Amino acid sequence: MIKKSAFLIALLLLFCSTSLAEQDYQQQRDHLVQRIKDNVALNNDYLLSEHIDARVLDVIRFVPRHEFVPQKYRKHAYKNRPLPIGFGQTISQPVIVAIMTDLLQLKQKNHVLEIGTGSGYQAAVLARLVDKVYSIEIVEELFERSSRDLKRLGFDNVATRSGDGYFGWPEQAPFDRIIVTAANSHIPPSLIKQLKPGGRMVLPVGGRFLLQHLVLVIKDVDGNVTTQQLLPVKFVPLTGQH
């Protein structure tokens, strides 16, 4: 009887500890959303809007970013900064995740292609806003880790694959929206081809040691493509055989 009581007490303490930790993470996400709002307001000269869509901010409040970073960096998970995730890669700064997601102007029925799964965090954010996300990661170890984490956390509408994202995912094309989370010196022609008429793509363009800019690509209903250079950014380079 004593052993059973001790077990129940330990279980209760564990539950309370977990609940308190989740409450703390939620408070940190709430504060992060406010910092994102403030940052966007300060940089609206570079952007197409003074505000981030409320749906995007609600998802930032919901998705547990700490679950997508290595354990030793979890105490920094809700700071508005990129963090290392291994293999020379990073999880993007939350404000950049919010801005890029907002620029896509997502609709629930959209099918989205992400180039550079990385930690899986951006894919998780997208997954709460659209029906299907297809995400490609070239680093095999990151592909395996992010795939496990997305499945473990219940993001079942994300399909992942290991491969060179420069060439897109032709078997699943065309896509309503495309997002690229690594910088390239130019916009990959294969991705423009795989973007549906009426679609939007957001990606960083520029060299590794040169100035990079976030670029919005719009393909109109007739297939004509226009680009718009927005705010300066700094991303890890897109890698692969290209």
Q: Which residues are catalytic?
A: 92
Answer for the pair 129, 119: CB distance below 8 angstroms, yes or no: no
Distance of CA 57 to the CA centre of its chain: 13
Answer for the pair 176, 150: CB distance below 8 angstroms, yes or no: no
